[in-house]
Chain A
């Protein structure tokens, strides 16, 4: 039962253009969402997060959008740079009383930014 899904295994964009990575979830108890980036031979690195009380969060070139009714979130990278080439994971968690930070991850999307 895949509660967090990233349906695009890969995405290729030109340097300077926008990258849009998508993520869908099924568990209604999820109310905190994160994006992690992973380079080869390194662990995932936290990128940006959003709480379900918001529909948008921005940090520099990175913006995450949340559509709760559609159970969908997306990560926008503008402008994309070759150094952004990595695997991007969407993750989700509930924040209820017994939630201690268990993250449920999607399968990941490989982003390649061409110079």
Chain B
């Protein structure tokens, strides 16, 4: 049973560029959430996708956008990269109802470095 997978593992981009990160949820899960974890901090909620729509969003600018595909996989896009976007980006999958909404399964993350 494959868990949550993310690609790529590491990424180096230049300020002003755009980046796309990918996530495949755990088998049987249809809800995908994205988090940003800066060094020494806890993960911060970016947004959540369910039924191919953004269902909830955290305090992140519109430069952060996403997409969910019919097979429940998801992409996170960040435009006009800033140095402050350097972080570990975590994808988490879950079921949409009950306590399963909160007991999320996380992938290993994508380490993004903006230079």
The interface bits of chain A over 82-98 (1 if a CB of B lies within 8 angstroms of the residue's CB, else 0) are 00000001010100001
Interface size bracket, B side: 20 to 34
User: Are B58 and A44 closer than 8 Å at their CB atoms?
Assistant: no
User: Are B45 and A100 closer than 8 Å at their CB atoms?
Assistant: no
**CB within 8 A of A108: which of B35, B42, B109?**
B42
Residue A4 at the B interface, CB < 8 A?
yes
Contacts of B31 in A (CB 8 A): 100-101
Contacts of B50 in A (CB 8 A): 100
**CB within 8 A of B106: which of A43, A49, A93?**
A43
Residue B65 at the A interface, CB < 8 A?
no
Residues of A within 8 A of B (CB): 4, 6, 32, 34, 36, 41-46, 49, 51, 89, 91, 93, 98-108
**CB within 8 A of B105: which of A46, A91, A105, A108?**
A46
Other A-B pairs, 19, CB within 8 Å; known A49-B102, A105-B35: A6-B42, A32-B102, A34-B102, A34-B103, A41-B108, A43-B90, A43-B92, A44-B43, A89-B43, A100-B31, A100-B48, A100-B56, A101-B33, A102-B48, A103-B35, A103-B43, A104-B45, A105-B43, A107-B40
